[in-house]
Amino acid sequence: MNVEQLISQINADTMSENLWQLVNISSPTRNEKNAALQFAKMLEEAGASVEIDSTIPNSPNVIGRLKGNRKGPVLQLSGHLDHVDVAHPQPTRDGKIISGRGSADMKNGLTGILEIVRILKANGCDFSGEILVTAYGLHEAPLGDGAGLRNLIERGVKGDAAIVFEGPDNAAAIAANGMSIWNLNIKIKEPACHEFSVEPGRTDLLGVVIAITNALREKDEDLKKAKNNFPLLARESLFIGQLHYGDFYNRVPNSAYMQGTRRWHPDKNFGDIKKDFDSIIDNLKIPQSVTIEQNWIFVGESYQIDANEKIVQSLVKAYKTVCNKDCPIRGHSSVTDVCRIVRQGKIPAVLCGFGTDSGHCDYEFVEIAHIKKCCEVALRTVMSFFEDAR
C-alpha cells in the first residue's frame, strides 16, 4: 500500500475521541499512573504489543512495539504523559476544538502516535522496520527530572532514531540550548532585628546580595558579548528570576534567596556550567560569617545533530509535501526530551509538534483540523524514514 492510501485513512473523529479520553484524565507531574494505564490500553487497541514498566509506581512508562513485515531500523515515537500542575477549567469540546490541561502539551502528540500505529496495523504493517512507542511521565520541570525516559534509555529501550511528538510544527529543530535552574540561599548567623537594633560589626547581608547580583549580571554581559558558535541557537545566558531580601519594612533580615536559569551551548555540559558558577561565587571572597547554600534543578543538556541525518531529511521531505513549502532548519528555545534521547541515548532525534502554542497557558486547547494535518506530516515522516532505510 502506498503512502497516499495511508494518509487518506487519518481519521479526525478517531483522533478527537482519543484526545478527549486522554485530556479527561488528569496527569500532573509525579501522578501519571492513570493516564499511563489508559494510554497503554488505547495503544494495545490500536495494534501494538504493550509493556508497562512500573519502576516508578506513580509514573510508569508505557512501551509499545509494532513490527513491520520486513526487517529494518527501529524508529522510536516518543512523548510525555504529564502536564504542568496548574489549574485549568474542565475539558470542553465543540467538534472543532478540544480544551483542557495537557491538550496542547502534549496529549495531542500522543493522539498522533495512536493514530499512526492504528493505520499501520490496519494495513498489515507494510514497512521495513519496527515502531517503538515510549510514553513516560516526570517530564515537566521543576518537579519532573526526566527519570522516566532516562530509565528507559538505561535499559536499552531506544530506537535507531526518534521522533518526539511535541515542539514546533513549522520547522525541523536540530539543536537546543541546555538549561538548569540555580538556587542560592544566603544566610548570616546574626538573628533578624529591627533597623534601629543593628549592632556594630553586623555582617552586611545586603552588600553580599548586591555583590552576587552584580557578579552574575556581569557574567551574563560577558555571555552576551561572546561569539556565538551555534548560529541556530540563542546566546548563552545567566538569568536572575527571583531575589528575595527581607520580610518587613523595618526589619533587617538574616537570609536572602536568589533563583534563576543558566542556558548553554552544545560545546559545554552541565558539569562545566556548575564549575563556572562556583568560580563566580568563589571569586567574590564572601565573608566567612556568610553561608551560601547552592543547589540546582537540572532540566536538560544542549545538543545539535547533523541536518543530513535520515530522520531530519524525512521530516523535511514530509513537511514540504504537506505544506507545499520548504521546511526551515532551526534551533529550539525550550528543553525537550530530544536532548535526553540525543545526549544519553546517542541516537538522532527530531521534534514533530501537534500545535503546542497554548501549552501551559490559562486556556490550553488544540484544533482538531490542525492535529490531523500534523499527523499527516508525522506519518509521512515515518514512512519516508522506513522507505529510505530499504
Angle at the Cα of 324 (from 318 to 327), degrees rounded to 5? 55
pLDDT cut 90: percent of the chain above it: 97
- When pLDDT is averaged across residues 314-331 and rounded to a whole number, the result is 98
Give the whole-angstrom CA distance, residue 135 versus residue 62: 5
Q: pLDDT value at position 1? A: 66
Confidence of residue 209 (pLDDT cuts 50, 70, 90): very high
Q: pLDDT of 336-354, one tens digit each?
A: 999 999 999 999 999 999 9
pLDDT at 384: 98
Mean pLDDT of all residues in 185-197:
98
For 24, 32, 94, 309, 359, the CA distances from 365, given in Å and listed in that order, are 13, 20, 11, 33, 8
pLDDT digits (tens, 9 = 90+) for 141-184: 999 999 999 999 999 999 999 999 999 999 999 999 999 999 99
Determine the Cα–Cα distance for residues 240 and 242; give it in Å rounded to an integer: 6
- The string of pLDDT tens digits covering residues 211-264 is 999 999 999 999 999 999 999 999 999 999 999 999 999 999 999 999 999 999
- Give the pLDDT confidence score for residue 75 in this predicted structure: 99
Helix (H, G, I), strand (E, B) or coil at 56: coil
Q: List the one residue out of 72, 127, 182 whose CA is nearest residue 383.
A: 127
Task: Tell me the pTM.
Answer: 0.94
pLDDT of residue 389: 60
Domains of the chain: 3-176+302-388 (3.40.630.10), 178-300 (3.30.70.360)
Q: Look-up: residue for cell 533563583?
A: 259
Rg of the chain in Å (alpha carbons): 24
Does residue 390 carry a pLDDT above 60?
A: no
pLDDT of residue 231: 97
Taking 90 as the threshold, does the pLDDT of residue 333 lie above it?
A: no
Instruction: Determine the average pLDDT of the residues in 176-193.
Output: 98
Residue 274 in grid coordinates = 556548575
Query: For residue 332, what are the β-bridge partners?
Result: 176
> What is the helix (H) or strand (E) element at residue 274, kind and residue range?
helix 270-282
Can you tell me the mean pLDDT for 306-334? 97
Instruction: Say if residues 49 and 132 touch (Cβ distance below 8 Å).
Output: no
Does residue 78 surpass a pLDDT of 80? yes
Q: Is 53 helix (H, G, I), strand (E, B) or coil?
A: strand
Mean pLDDT of 91-98: 96
CA-angle at 18, arms to 387 and 54, nearest 5°? 85
Instruction: Name the average pLDDT for the chain.
Output: 97
97-132 per-position pLDDT tens digit: 999 999 999 999 999 999 999 999 999 999 999 999
Q: What share of the chain in percent tops pLDDT 70?
A: 99
